[in-house]
Structure 1
Amino acid sequence: MSANINEVIIKRYNRVAKIYDYMDKMIRIEWRRDLLDLASKEVLEVGVGTGINLPLYPKGISSLTGVDFSSEMLNIAKQKAGSINQSHPTMFLEADIQDLPFEDHTFDTVVSTCVFCSVPDPIKGLKEIRRVCKPDGQILMLEHMRSENKIIGAIMDLLNPLPVKLWGANINRDTMNNIEAAGLSVISEKYLMGTIMRKLVLTPKK
């Protein structure tokens, strides 16, 4: 069943790949830059998508690995990487965040920007990024989630089937509880758009 859900979502993201940058305007560049300034050493970006974040990484990082399960999104990311003057090596892999092809404790920084709305099993995906992150590493996230306002939250529940059907993204995920269930600790949390959009710095629980 999970494999079938994956295939459906992959097809949806492949379909919208060429217009995805226009769809992703809700995440402000200054939010991205503020998050990515914290990245250091060996970096993994999960759900790298079309590579919107690529030019925003600080020059001090050692390397960047970007993974996504949409081949069409990755093709666009690779084209962008080729046009950017980067001081660090960059590698792209077609891979599922729920089953990452890396050894335990590989990366110093793991980055995710509005990814866990579309992961079929978000807790499994969060456990995977915990696994590949070094024990003293950090996980940097920009994530939208269900509003804590009861009325707005109920409206998001009502509207959720539409974005799920169009491109596979849920707008009402209980992401903070998912983070707790995956064994991650919140180091810092900043509200960017009410309680819906947040900047998070996480670390694996000791």
Structure 2
Amino acid sequence: MAEIDHVIAQWISYYLPYLLASLLLLWVLKMKGSDLRHRWFAFLMHYINKDMDPKIEELKKDFFSSLSSITSHDPELRKKKGIKILEIGVGTGVNFQYYPDGSHLIVVDPNPHFAKYYDENRKKFPNIHSEEILITTGEEMTGVADSSVDVVVVTLVLCSVGDAHQILKNVVRVLVPGGKLYILEHIKEFNPDKYWIRSVLQEFLSVSGIWPFLFDGCCLNRDFHSALDSAGFSKVEAEKFYAPLTKLLFLMIKPHLKAIAVK
């Protein structure tokens, strides 16, 4: 515990000047309107995702490995051994590499400035039919029909949404009977007795608005386990764990939840 606290103290001393400078910069951006902040966040995610930690890639590869065993409700996709996937909060498209060949991908994201990064990325995966981004939120994705997709994927999205319960309600709506939700999210510290400094910092950075301001609404103090349990799925398998993140900037989001829920 002392070692973890020392590392977090290092994180504070190293990144505080950068956080304050970024806060000042983003305050200026806020005065210029939300469009610039959306541009900033899209660029930031593009930059971060260019250098993905191999341990995280391995974790996600293992988590999504069961996608290949799913049989699509769509006869044409079954012939290709593909599935119909809806990804909510697609961002730059970092999950393409985990989807089965021949799959049909529908994507939703409220930030229009992710589109150019998403388009660049999907060119690398001609084995997947990917649609244009639907510029909307998971709460309001009326363009996705009822009982129309085999799988919904949500990764590192619910931390910044307005209503996670409504999104999960929509997920149940669009999934075919027996369809699955794959969710991988960072959550609030689930062992505050041991990692109390991280727990306090998560609460402070979220309630103060500093972290949401810097990262386009992202909150560090959320947990989605209870929301999953009450969403109406027939089965939920969920696990809380610490992601193998090593960079100081990411110590605040080490606590994670991974779950697969069945309609």
Compared with structure 1, are the counterparts of its residues 9 and 202 closer, same or farther at alpha carbon in structure 2 (3 Å cutoff)? farther
| 1:188 Cα deviation from its structure 2 partner | 4.3
Q: Give the residue type in structure 1 aligned to 2:104.
A: S
Alignment partner of 2:88 out of 46, 51, 56: 46
Q: Tell whether 2:149 aligns with 1:99.
A: no
Tell me which protein shows more strand as a share of its residues: 1
Unaligned runs of 5+ in 1: 1-7
CA contact (8 A) 1:10 1:69 kept: no
Give the partner amino acid of 1:189: E
State yes or no: 1:202 paired with 2:261. yes
Identity percentage of aligned residues: 27
| Matches of 1:19 and 1:115, distance apart in 2 | 15
Closer, same or farther: CA 65–10 of 1 in aligned 2, 3 Å: farther
Name the counterpart of 2:17: none
Query: How does 1:139-150 map onto structure 2 within 5 Å?
Result: 139-150=181-192
**Aligned positions of 1:74-153 closer than 5 A:** 74-82=115-123, 84-92=124-132, 93-100=134-141, 101-150=143-192, 151=196, 152-153=198-199
- Segments of structure 2 that go 5 or more residues without pairing to the other structure are 1-32, 71-82, 245-253
Per residue, is there more helix in 1 or in 2?
Answer: 2
- The 3-state SS of whatever aligns with 2:91 is coil
Which position in structure 1 is the counterpart of 2:46?
Answer: 21
Task: Say yes or no: does 1:187 pair with 2:212.
Answer: no
TM-superposed deviation, 1:14: 3.0
Letter in 2 for 1:86: P
Deviation at 1:183, TM superposition (A): 2.4
Using the size of structure 1 for normalisation, the TM-score is 0.83
Larger Rg: 2
Count of aligned pairs between the two proteins: 195
Aligned Cα RMSD in Å? 2.4
Deviation track 1:98-148 (CA, whole Å, cap 9, x = no partner) reads 011212111111111111001111111111112111120110111111111
Asked if 1:164 corresponds to 2:223, the answer is: no
C-alpha spacing 1:112/1:86, structure 2 compared with 1 (3 Å)? same
